[in-house]
A and B are shown apart, each in its own frame.
Chain A
Amino acid sequence: MNLVLDAIAWILDPTNWEGVGGIPQRLWEHLWISAVILLIAAAIALPVGVLVGHTGRGREAAVTVSGALRALPTLGVLSLFALWLGIGLRAPIPALVILAIPPLLAGAYAGIESIDRRIVDAARAMGMNERQIVGKVEVPLGLPIIVGGIRSATLQIIATATLAAYVADFGLGRFIFSGLKTRDYAEMLGGSILVIVLALVVDGAFALTQRLVVPAGVRATRFTELRSRPARPRAAVG
Protein backbone atom coordinates (compact mmCIF):
# COMPACT_ATOMS: atom_id res chain seq x y z
CA MET A 1 0.00 0.00 0.00
CA ASN A 2 3.07 2.17 0.30
CA LEU A 3 3.06 2.37 -3.47
CA VAL A 4 -0.42 3.87 -3.40
CA LEU A 5 0.56 6.38 -0.72
CA ASP A 6 3.54 7.45 -2.83
CA ALA A 7 1.29 7.88 -5.83
CA ILE A 8 -1.23 9.91 -3.85
CA ALA A 9 1.61 12.02 -2.50
CA TRP A 10 2.68 12.57 -6.10
CA ILE A 11 -0.83 13.59 -7.12
CA LEU A 12 -1.11 15.99 -4.16
CA ASP A 13 2.36 17.47 -4.63
CA PRO A 14 1.69 21.15 -5.46
CA THR A 15 4.65 21.30 -7.86
CA ASN A 16 2.81 18.82 -10.09
CA TRP A 17 -0.17 21.15 -10.31
CA GLU A 18 1.47 24.13 -11.94
CA GLY A 19 2.96 25.24 -15.22
CA VAL A 20 3.62 23.45 -18.47
CA GLY A 21 3.03 19.71 -18.20
CA GLY A 22 1.26 20.01 -14.85
CA ILE A 23 -1.78 17.92 -13.93
CA PRO A 24 -4.40 20.60 -14.81
CA GLN A 25 -2.89 21.15 -18.26
CA ARG A 26 -2.66 17.41 -19.01
CA LEU A 27 -6.19 16.80 -17.77
CA TRP A 28 -7.51 19.64 -19.91
CA GLU A 29 -5.65 18.31 -22.97
CA HIS A 30 -7.03 14.83 -22.38
CA LEU A 31 -10.57 16.16 -22.06
CA TRP A 32 -10.69 18.50 -25.04
CA ILE A 33 -8.97 16.11 -27.41
CA SER A 34 -11.34 13.33 -26.37
CA ALA A 35 -14.29 15.66 -26.93
CA VAL A 36 -13.09 16.77 -30.37
CA ILE A 37 -12.51 13.17 -31.45
CA LEU A 38 -15.90 12.11 -30.16
CA LEU A 39 -17.55 14.90 -32.13
CA ILE A 40 -15.75 14.02 -35.37
CA ALA A 41 -16.37 10.28 -35.01
CA ALA A 42 -20.02 10.83 -34.06
CA ALA A 43 -20.57 13.15 -37.02
CA ILE A 44 -19.40 10.32 -39.29
CA ALA A 45 -20.75 7.21 -37.57
CA LEU A 46 -24.11 8.23 -36.09
CA PRO A 47 -25.86 9.37 -39.31
CA VAL A 48 -24.57 6.30 -41.14
CA GLY A 49 -25.68 4.01 -38.31
CA VAL A 50 -29.14 5.57 -38.10
CA LEU A 51 -29.54 5.31 -41.88
CA VAL A 52 -28.49 1.65 -41.83
CA GLY A 53 -30.86 0.93 -38.97
CA HIS A 54 -33.75 2.78 -40.64
CA THR A 55 -33.43 1.32 -44.13
CA GLY A 56 -31.95 -2.03 -43.18
CA ARG A 57 -29.69 -1.55 -46.20
CA GLY A 58 -25.98 -2.13 -45.78
CA ARG A 59 -26.52 -3.87 -42.48
CA GLU A 60 -24.10 -6.68 -43.32
CA ALA A 61 -21.47 -4.15 -44.38
CA ALA A 62 -21.92 -2.14 -41.17
CA VAL A 63 -21.61 -5.27 -39.04
CA THR A 64 -18.49 -6.36 -40.91
CA VAL A 65 -16.85 -2.95 -40.80
CA SER A 66 -17.50 -2.41 -37.10
CA GLY A 67 -16.38 -5.98 -36.33
CA ALA A 68 -13.21 -5.71 -38.37
CA LEU A 69 -12.32 -2.31 -36.89
CA ARG A 70 -12.70 -3.78 -33.42
CA ALA A 71 -10.00 -6.36 -34.17
CA LEU A 72 -7.52 -3.59 -35.07
CA PRO A 73 -4.82 -3.28 -32.41
CA THR A 74 -4.99 0.32 -31.18
CA LEU A 75 -1.25 0.59 -30.60
CA GLY A 76 -0.57 -0.56 -34.15
CA VAL A 77 -2.91 2.03 -35.65
CA LEU A 78 -1.38 4.77 -33.48
CA SER A 79 2.16 3.77 -34.47
CA LEU A 80 1.30 3.63 -38.15
CA PHE A 81 -0.26 7.09 -38.14
CA ALA A 82 2.65 8.44 -36.11
CA LEU A 83 5.02 7.15 -38.75
CA TRP A 84 2.98 8.69 -41.57
CA LEU A 85 2.15 12.03 -39.97
CA GLY A 86 5.03 12.49 -37.57
CA ILE A 87 5.16 12.72 -33.81
CA GLY A 88 2.58 15.21 -32.57
CA LEU A 89 -1.14 15.76 -32.37
CA ARG A 90 -1.78 15.18 -36.07
CA ALA A 91 -1.20 11.44 -35.80
CA PRO A 92 -3.39 10.41 -32.86
CA ILE A 93 -6.49 12.31 -34.00
CA PRO A 94 -7.27 10.28 -37.16
CA ALA A 95 -6.20 7.07 -35.41
CA LEU A 96 -8.52 7.76 -32.48
CA VAL A 97 -11.40 8.71 -34.78
CA ILE A 98 -11.09 5.40 -36.65
CA LEU A 99 -11.05 3.44 -33.40
CA ALA A 100 -14.09 5.30 -32.02
CA ILE A 101 -16.28 4.56 -35.04
CA PRO A 102 -17.23 0.87 -34.40
CA PRO A 103 -19.04 1.34 -31.07
CA LEU A 104 -20.82 4.47 -32.36
CA LEU A 105 -21.91 2.75 -35.56
CA ALA A 106 -23.00 -0.41 -33.77
CA GLY A 107 -24.90 1.58 -31.12
CA ALA A 108 -26.72 3.64 -33.75
CA TYR A 109 -27.95 0.78 -35.93
CA ALA A 110 -28.65 -1.53 -33.00
CA GLY A 111 -30.64 1.27 -31.33
CA ILE A 112 -32.85 1.82 -34.37
CA GLU A 113 -33.16 -1.91 -35.03
CA SER A 114 -34.25 -2.62 -31.47
CA ILE A 115 -37.55 -0.77 -32.08
CA ASP A 116 -40.60 -2.90 -32.67
CA ARG A 117 -41.32 -2.71 -36.42
CA ARG A 118 -45.04 -2.35 -35.67
CA ILE A 119 -44.39 0.98 -33.98
CA VAL A 120 -42.66 2.21 -37.13
CA ASP A 121 -45.52 0.86 -39.26
CA ALA A 122 -48.01 2.64 -37.01
CA ALA A 123 -46.09 5.90 -37.40
CA ARG A 124 -46.12 5.48 -41.16
CA ALA A 125 -49.83 4.65 -41.15
CA MET A 126 -50.50 7.86 -39.23
CA GLY A 127 -48.97 9.73 -42.15
CA MET A 128 -45.50 10.53 -40.88
CA ASN A 129 -42.89 10.86 -43.61
CA GLU A 130 -39.56 9.03 -43.37
CA ARG A 131 -37.79 12.06 -41.88
CA GLN A 132 -40.42 12.35 -39.15
CA ILE A 133 -40.28 8.62 -38.46
CA VAL A 134 -36.53 8.80 -37.94
CA GLY A 135 -36.58 12.02 -35.95
CA LYS A 136 -39.70 11.61 -33.86
CA VAL A 137 -39.99 7.84 -33.41
CA GLU A 138 -36.87 5.85 -34.11
CA VAL A 139 -34.17 8.08 -32.67
CA PRO A 140 -35.99 8.88 -29.40
CA LEU A 141 -36.90 5.22 -28.84
CA GLY A 142 -33.45 3.99 -29.76
CA LEU A 143 -31.69 6.70 -27.74
CA PRO A 144 -30.74 4.57 -24.70
CA ILE A 145 -28.83 2.15 -26.94
CA ILE A 146 -27.40 4.96 -29.07
CA VAL A 147 -26.13 6.70 -25.92
CA GLY A 148 -24.73 3.32 -24.85
CA GLY A 149 -22.69 3.31 -28.06
CA ILE A 150 -21.50 6.86 -27.38
CA ARG A 151 -20.57 5.74 -23.87
CA SER A 152 -18.35 2.87 -25.03
CA ALA A 153 -16.85 5.06 -27.73
CA THR A 154 -16.00 7.74 -25.16
CA LEU A 155 -14.35 5.23 -22.84
CA GLN A 156 -12.45 3.83 -25.79
CA ILE A 157 -11.28 7.33 -26.71
CA ILE A 158 -10.16 8.15 -23.17
CA ALA A 159 -8.24 4.86 -22.96
CA THR A 160 -6.63 5.21 -26.37
CA ALA A 161 -5.81 8.88 -25.77
CA THR A 162 -3.81 7.67 -22.76
CA LEU A 163 -1.92 5.30 -25.02
CA ALA A 164 -1.51 8.04 -27.62
CA ALA A 165 0.84 9.87 -25.26
CA TYR A 166 3.32 7.32 -26.58
CA VAL A 167 3.44 9.16 -29.89
CA ALA A 168 2.38 12.68 -28.93
CA ASP A 169 3.08 15.07 -26.10
CA PHE A 170 -0.39 15.34 -24.65
CA GLY A 171 -2.78 14.04 -22.06
CA LEU A 172 -2.57 12.21 -18.77
CA GLY A 173 -0.74 9.34 -20.45
CA ARG A 174 2.39 11.54 -20.45
CA PHE A 175 2.82 10.91 -16.74
CA ILE A 176 2.72 7.15 -17.31
CA PHE A 177 5.28 7.22 -20.10
CA SER A 178 7.63 9.66 -18.37
CA GLY A 179 7.36 7.51 -15.23
CA LEU A 180 8.12 4.39 -17.26
CA LYS A 181 11.18 6.06 -18.75
CA THR A 182 12.61 7.25 -15.44
CA ARG A 183 11.32 4.20 -13.53
CA ASP A 184 9.40 6.53 -11.24
CA TYR A 185 6.57 4.29 -10.08
CA ALA A 186 4.88 7.01 -8.03
CA GLU A 187 4.47 9.16 -11.15
CA MET A 188 3.27 6.22 -13.30
CA LEU A 189 0.76 5.12 -10.71
CA GLY A 190 -0.32 8.69 -9.97
CA GLY A 191 -0.97 9.21 -13.68
CA SER A 192 -2.82 5.91 -13.88
CA ILE A 193 -5.03 6.80 -10.93
CA LEU A 194 -5.93 10.12 -12.56
CA VAL A 195 -6.82 8.32 -15.81
CA ILE A 196 -8.91 5.71 -13.98
CA VAL A 197 -10.78 8.37 -11.99
CA LEU A 198 -11.44 10.33 -15.18
CA ALA A 199 -12.77 7.24 -16.97
CA LEU A 200 -15.00 6.21 -14.07
CA VAL A 201 -16.44 9.73 -13.65
CA VAL A 202 -17.23 9.96 -17.37
CA ASP A 203 -18.71 6.45 -17.35
CA GLY A 204 -20.89 7.35 -14.38
CA ALA A 205 -22.12 10.50 -16.11
CA PHE A 206 -23.07 8.44 -19.16
CA ALA A 207 -24.83 5.80 -17.07
CA LEU A 208 -26.97 8.60 -15.66
CA THR A 209 -27.63 10.09 -19.10
CA GLN A 210 -28.63 6.68 -20.41
CA ARG A 211 -31.33 6.52 -17.78
CA LEU A 212 -32.53 10.05 -18.37
CA VAL A 213 -32.97 9.62 -22.11
CA VAL A 214 -35.49 6.78 -21.83
CA PRO A 215 -38.75 8.32 -23.09
CA ALA A 216 -41.40 8.50 -20.38
CA GLY A 217 -43.84 6.23 -22.18
CA VAL A 218 -41.22 3.56 -22.69
CA ARG A 219 -40.24 3.67 -19.05
CA ALA A 220 -43.83 2.89 -18.04
CA THR A 221 -44.19 -0.13 -20.35
CA ARG A 222 -40.80 -1.48 -19.39
CA PHE A 223 -41.79 -1.40 -15.78
CA THR A 224 -44.97 -3.41 -16.33
CA GLU A 225 -43.11 -5.87 -18.56
CA LEU A 226 -40.56 -6.50 -15.87
CA ARG A 227 -43.25 -7.06 -13.29
CA SER A 228 -45.56 -9.21 -15.33
CA ARG A 229 -42.95 -11.59 -16.63
CA PRO A 230 -42.13 -13.62 -13.52
CA ALA A 231 -45.73 -13.48 -12.30
CA ARG A 232 -47.05 -15.16 -15.45
CA PRO A 233 -44.64 -17.76 -16.75
CA ARG A 234 -45.26 -18.74 -20.34
CA ALA A 235 -46.43 -22.24 -19.42
CA ALA A 236 -50.01 -21.19 -20.26
CA VAL A 237 -49.01 -20.50 -23.89
CA GLY A 238 -47.44 -23.85 -24.69
Chain B
Amino acid sequence: MNWIWSNLDRVGELMLVHLALSVPAIILSFVVSVPIGWLAHRYRWASGVLLSLCALLYAIPSLALLIALPVFTGQRATSPVNLVVALTLYGIAVIVRTAADAFDAVERDVLQSATAVGYSTAGRFWGVHLPLAGPVLLSGLRVVIVSTVSLATVGAVTGVQSLGSLFTDGLQRGIQAEIIAGILATIVLAVVLDGLTVAVGRMVMPWSRPGMEAARSSSASPVEQADAA
Protein backbone atom coordinates (compact mmCIF):
# COMPACT_ATOMS: atom_id res chain seq x y z
CA MET B 1 0.00 0.00 0.00
CA ASN B 2 3.06 2.21 0.37
CA TRP B 3 3.25 2.39 -3.38
CA ILE B 4 -0.09 4.16 -3.53
CA TRP B 5 0.89 6.90 -1.08
CA SER B 6 4.21 7.62 -2.74
CA ASN B 7 2.63 7.65 -6.20
CA LEU B 8 -0.58 9.52 -5.52
CA ASP B 9 0.32 12.28 -7.97
CA ARG B 10 0.94 9.73 -10.73
CA VAL B 11 -2.46 8.12 -10.08
CA GLY B 12 -4.11 11.55 -10.00
CA GLU B 13 -2.47 12.52 -13.27
CA LEU B 14 -3.61 9.30 -14.96
CA MET B 15 -7.12 9.85 -13.59
CA LEU B 16 -7.22 13.16 -15.44
CA VAL B 17 -5.92 11.55 -18.63
CA HIS B 18 -8.52 8.83 -18.17
CA LEU B 19 -11.25 11.46 -17.81
CA ALA B 20 -10.03 13.21 -20.95
CA LEU B 21 -10.46 9.92 -22.86
CA SER B 22 -13.76 8.73 -21.45
CA VAL B 23 -15.79 11.92 -20.98
CA PRO B 24 -15.66 12.98 -24.67
CA ALA B 25 -16.59 9.44 -25.68
CA ILE B 26 -19.54 9.39 -23.25
CA ILE B 27 -20.86 12.79 -24.36
CA LEU B 28 -20.35 12.05 -28.05
CA SER B 29 -22.10 8.71 -27.87
CA PHE B 30 -25.05 10.25 -26.01
CA VAL B 31 -25.42 13.14 -28.45
CA VAL B 32 -25.22 10.82 -31.46
CA SER B 33 -27.46 8.11 -30.02
CA VAL B 34 -30.51 10.13 -29.05
CA PRO B 35 -31.43 11.10 -32.64
CA ILE B 36 -30.64 7.57 -33.87
CA GLY B 37 -32.77 6.15 -31.08
CA TRP B 38 -35.59 8.48 -32.07
CA LEU B 39 -35.33 7.28 -35.69
CA ALA B 40 -35.52 3.69 -34.47
CA HIS B 41 -38.58 4.62 -32.42
CA ARG B 42 -40.28 6.52 -35.22
CA TYR B 43 -39.73 4.22 -38.20
CA ARG B 44 -40.32 0.50 -37.96
CA TRP B 45 -37.95 -0.37 -40.81
CA ALA B 46 -35.19 1.73 -39.27
CA SER B 47 -35.72 0.11 -35.91
CA GLY B 48 -34.83 -3.38 -37.15
CA VAL B 49 -31.79 -2.27 -39.11
CA LEU B 50 -30.41 0.15 -36.50
CA LEU B 51 -30.92 -2.12 -33.52
CA SER B 52 -29.34 -5.09 -35.31
CA LEU B 53 -26.36 -2.93 -36.30
CA CYS B 54 -25.95 -1.86 -32.69
CA ALA B 55 -26.15 -5.46 -31.49
CA LEU B 56 -23.49 -6.47 -34.03
CA LEU B 57 -21.25 -3.58 -33.02
CA TYR B 58 -21.61 -4.46 -29.38
CA ALA B 59 -20.63 -8.07 -30.10
CA ILE B 60 -17.21 -7.04 -31.46
CA PRO B 61 -14.45 -7.62 -28.89
CA SER B 62 -12.87 -4.34 -27.81
CA LEU B 63 -9.27 -5.20 -28.58
CA ALA B 64 -10.17 -6.37 -32.09
CA LEU B 65 -12.15 -3.18 -32.69
CA LEU B 66 -9.24 -1.04 -31.52
CA ILE B 67 -6.96 -2.74 -34.04
CA ALA B 68 -9.47 -2.79 -36.89
CA LEU B 69 -10.75 0.80 -36.57
CA PRO B 70 -7.72 2.50 -38.15
CA VAL B 71 -8.74 0.90 -41.46
CA PHE B 72 -11.78 3.20 -41.44
CA THR B 73 -10.48 6.24 -39.56
CA GLY B 74 -6.92 6.47 -40.90
CA GLN B 75 -5.69 6.99 -37.34
CA ARG B 76 -2.89 4.90 -35.87
CA ALA B 77 -4.08 1.99 -33.72
CA THR B 78 -2.00 3.37 -30.88
CA SER B 79 -3.48 6.89 -30.91
CA PRO B 80 -5.83 8.24 -28.21
CA VAL B 81 -8.26 9.41 -30.91
CA ASN B 82 -8.63 5.81 -32.06
CA LEU B 83 -9.53 4.78 -28.50
CA VAL B 84 -12.07 7.59 -28.14
CA VAL B 85 -13.71 6.59 -31.43
CA ALA B 86 -13.92 2.96 -30.29
CA LEU B 87 -15.39 3.93 -26.91
CA THR B 88 -17.91 6.20 -28.63
CA LEU B 89 -19.02 3.37 -30.91
CA TYR B 90 -19.59 1.05 -27.95
CA GLY B 91 -21.49 3.81 -26.17
CA ILE B 92 -23.71 4.30 -29.20
CA ALA B 93 -24.36 0.57 -29.39
CA VAL B 94 -25.70 0.68 -25.84
CA ILE B 95 -27.63 3.96 -25.79
CA VAL B 96 -29.43 3.65 -29.13
CA ARG B 97 -31.40 0.66 -27.85
CA THR B 98 -32.23 2.38 -24.57
CA ALA B 99 -33.15 5.59 -26.39
CA ALA B 100 -35.53 3.73 -28.69
CA ASP B 101 -37.12 2.07 -25.63
CA ALA B 102 -37.27 5.44 -23.85
CA PHE B 103 -39.19 7.09 -26.68
CA ASP B 104 -41.41 4.03 -27.09
CA ALA B 105 -42.28 4.08 -23.39
CA VAL B 106 -43.93 7.50 -23.52
CA GLU B 107 -47.71 7.02 -23.60
CA ARG B 108 -49.30 7.64 -26.95
CA ASP B 109 -52.21 9.37 -25.20
CA VAL B 110 -49.86 11.92 -23.69
CA LEU B 111 -48.37 12.74 -27.08
CA GLN B 112 -51.81 13.04 -28.65
CA SER B 113 -52.93 15.30 -25.80
CA ALA B 114 -49.90 17.51 -26.46
CA THR B 115 -50.88 17.80 -30.11
CA ALA B 116 -54.46 18.50 -29.08
CA VAL B 117 -53.48 21.42 -26.85
CA GLY B 118 -51.57 22.93 -29.74
CA TYR B 119 -47.95 21.75 -29.62
CA SER B 120 -46.21 21.79 -33.00
CA THR B 121 -44.34 18.62 -34.02
CA ALA B 122 -40.98 20.05 -32.97
CA GLY B 123 -42.44 21.70 -29.88
CA ARG B 124 -43.99 18.42 -28.83
CA PHE B 125 -40.66 16.63 -29.20
CA TRP B 126 -38.70 19.17 -27.13
CA GLY B 127 -41.45 20.03 -24.66
CA VAL B 128 -43.11 16.67 -24.05
CA HIS B 129 -41.57 13.60 -25.69
CA LEU B 130 -37.90 14.19 -24.86
CA PRO B 131 -38.46 15.27 -21.23
CA LEU B 132 -40.69 12.28 -20.55
CA ALA B 133 -38.17 9.92 -22.18
CA GLY B 134 -35.44 11.59 -20.11
CA PRO B 135 -35.38 9.30 -17.06
CA VAL B 136 -34.92 6.17 -19.21
CA LEU B 137 -32.32 7.96 -21.36
CA LEU B 138 -30.50 8.79 -18.15
CA SER B 139 -30.45 5.13 -17.12
CA GLY B 140 -28.84 4.26 -20.47
CA LEU B 141 -26.30 7.02 -20.01
CA ARG B 142 -25.40 5.65 -16.58
CA VAL B 143 -24.69 2.18 -18.01
CA VAL B 144 -22.46 3.75 -20.64
CA ILE B 145 -20.56 5.83 -18.08
CA VAL B 146 -19.61 2.77 -16.06
CA SER B 147 -18.75 0.62 -19.07
CA THR B 148 -16.78 3.36 -20.87
CA VAL B 149 -14.63 4.22 -17.86
CA SER B 150 -13.86 0.55 -17.37
CA LEU B 151 -13.30 -0.16 -21.08
CA ALA B 152 -10.94 2.79 -21.57
CA THR B 153 -8.30 0.89 -19.60
CA VAL B 154 -7.99 -1.62 -22.47
CA GLY B 155 -6.23 1.07 -24.52
CA ALA B 156 -3.18 0.59 -22.31
CA VAL B 157 -2.17 -2.58 -24.19
CA THR B 158 -1.95 -0.65 -27.45
CA GLY B 159 0.05 2.07 -25.71
CA VAL B 160 -2.63 4.71 -24.99
CA GLN B 161 -1.96 6.15 -21.51
CA SER B 162 -4.82 5.83 -19.05
CA LEU B 163 -5.47 4.28 -15.65
CA GLY B 164 -4.94 1.02 -17.54
CA SER B 165 -1.23 1.90 -17.71
CA LEU B 166 -1.12 1.09 -14.01
CA PHE B 167 -2.14 -2.48 -14.89
CA THR B 168 0.45 -3.00 -17.63
CA ASP B 169 3.17 -1.25 -15.65
CA GLY B 170 2.25 -2.99 -12.40
CA LEU B 171 2.31 -6.39 -14.09
CA GLN B 172 5.66 -5.74 -15.75
CA ARG B 173 7.30 -4.53 -12.55
CA GLY B 174 5.45 -6.96 -10.30
CA ILE B 175 3.85 -4.28 -8.11
CA GLN B 176 0.54 -5.59 -6.84
CA ALA B 177 -0.39 -2.31 -5.16
CA GLU B 178 -0.13 -0.49 -8.47
CA ILE B 179 -2.65 -2.80 -10.14
CA ILE B 180 -5.02 -2.57 -7.17
CA ALA B 181 -4.67 1.22 -7.18
CA GLY B 182 -5.58 1.22 -10.86
CA ILE B 183 -8.67 -0.94 -10.29
CA LEU B 184 -9.80 1.20 -7.36
CA ALA B 185 -9.16 4.48 -9.20
CA THR B 186 -11.16 3.21 -12.20
CA ILE B 187 -14.10 2.25 -9.99
CA VAL B 188 -13.94 5.53 -8.04
CA LEU B 189 -13.94 7.48 -11.30
CA ALA B 190 -16.95 5.55 -12.59
CA VAL B 191 -18.86 5.97 -9.33
CA VAL B 192 -18.13 9.71 -9.14
CA LEU B 193 -19.14 10.33 -12.76
CA ASP B 194 -22.26 8.25 -12.24
CA GLY B 195 -23.15 10.16 -9.08
CA LEU B 196 -22.65 13.51 -10.80
CA THR B 197 -24.86 12.41 -13.67
CA VAL B 198 -27.61 11.29 -11.31
CA ALA B 199 -27.41 14.62 -9.45
CA VAL B 200 -27.57 16.64 -12.67
CA GLY B 201 -30.41 14.42 -13.88
CA ARG B 202 -32.43 15.14 -10.71
CA MET B 203 -31.80 18.83 -11.12
CA VAL B 204 -32.87 19.14 -14.74
CA MET B 205 -35.61 16.50 -14.53
CA PRO B 206 -37.46 17.00 -11.24
CA TRP B 207 -40.12 14.63 -12.55
CA SER B 208 -37.72 11.67 -12.46
CA ARG B 209 -38.05 11.21 -8.67
CA PRO B 210 -38.68 7.71 -7.28
CA GLY B 211 -42.50 8.14 -7.22
CA MET B 212 -42.40 8.33 -11.00
CA GLU B 213 -40.98 4.81 -11.20
CA ALA B 214 -44.08 3.31 -9.60
CA ALA B 215 -46.36 5.38 -11.77
CA ARG B 216 -44.65 4.24 -14.94
CA SER B 217 -44.55 0.56 -14.12
CA SER B 218 -48.21 0.58 -13.15
CA SER B 219 -49.18 2.21 -16.43
CA ALA B 220 -47.31 -0.56 -18.24
CA SER B 221 -49.55 -3.25 -16.75
CA PRO B 222 -52.90 -1.90 -15.60
CA VAL B 223 -54.10 -5.39 -14.78
CA GLU B 224 -51.47 -5.99 -12.14
CA GLN B 225 -52.30 -2.65 -10.64
CA ALA B 226 -55.90 -3.74 -10.27
CA ASP B 227 -54.78 -6.96 -8.63
CA ALA B 228 -52.70 -5.12 -6.08
CA ALA B 229 -55.64 -2.89 -5.24
Say whether B62 faces chain A, with CB atoms less than 8 Å apart.
yes
CB distance from A84 to the nearest CB of B (A): 8
Q: Tell me whether B61 and A158 are in contact (CB under 8 A).
A: yes
Contact among B60, B176, B227 for A199, CB-based, below 8 A: B60
Q: How far is the CA of A203 from the CA of B146 in the complex (A)?
A: 23
Q: Tell me whether B183 and A196 are in contact (CB under 8 A).
A: no
Say whether B204 faces chain A, with CB atoms less than 8 Å apart.
no
Q: Tell me whether B164 and A76 are in contact (CB under 8 A).
A: yes
Q: Tell me whether B156 and A199 are in contact (CB under 8 A).
A: no
Instruction: Output the residue of B58, B60, B186 with the most chain A CB within 10 A.
Output: B60
Count of interface residues, chain B, beta-carbon cutoff 8 Å: 49
Give the residues from 32 to 85 in chain A that come closer than 8 angstroms, CB to CB, to chain B. Answer: 70-80, 82-84
Say whether A131 faces chain B, with CB atoms less than 8 Å apart.
no
Please name the residue on chain B nearest to A1 by beta carbon: B71
Q: Tell me whether B59 and A200 are in contact (CB under 8 A).
A: yes
B interface: dominant SS: helix
Q: Tell me whether A173 and B63 are in contact (CB under 8 A).
A: yes
CB distance from A185 to the nearest CB of B (A): 8
Contact among A70, A71, A79, A192 for B67, CB-based, below 8 A: A192
Given contacts A180-B158, A188-B77, A199-B60, contact A4 B170 (CB under 8 A): no
Q: How far is the CA of A136 from the CA of B56 in the complex (A)?
A: 33
Q: Tell me whether B176 and A163 are in contact (CB under 8 A).
A: no
Q: How far is the CA of A199 from the CA of B68 in the complex (A)?
A: 14
Instruction: Output the residue of A72, A78, A79, A189 with the most chain B CB within 10 A.
Output: A79
Instruction: Output the residue of A176, A193, A235 with the most chain B CB within 10 A.
Output: A176
Count of interface residues, chain A, beta-carbon cutoff 8 Å: 49
Q: How far is the CA of A88 from the CA of B84 in the complex (A)?
A: 31
Given contacts A72-B183, A83-B176, A233-B108, contact A203 B55 (CB under 8 A): yes
Contact among A4, A72, A179, A196 for B61, CB-based, below 8 A: A196
Instruction: Output the residue of A116, A167, A176, A192 with the most chain B CB within 10 A.
Output: A192
Can you show 17 pairs from A to B with CB atoms below 8 A apart? A70-B147, A73-B164, A73-B183, A74-B150, A75-B168, A79-B170, A83-B176, A116-B224, A159-B61, A163-B154, A179-B67, A195-B63, A196-B64, A199-B64, A200-B60, A203-B55, A238-B109
Q: A73-B154, A159-B63, A238-B109 provided; 5 other pairs, C-beta below 8 A?
A: A70-B147, A71-B187, A118-B227, A155-B59, A155-B61
What are the 10 tightest A-B residue pairs by CB atom distance, in nearest-first order? Answer: A159-B61, A192-B64, A79-B167, A76-B183, A195-B64, A192-B67, A203-B59, A73-B153, A79-B171, A73-B150
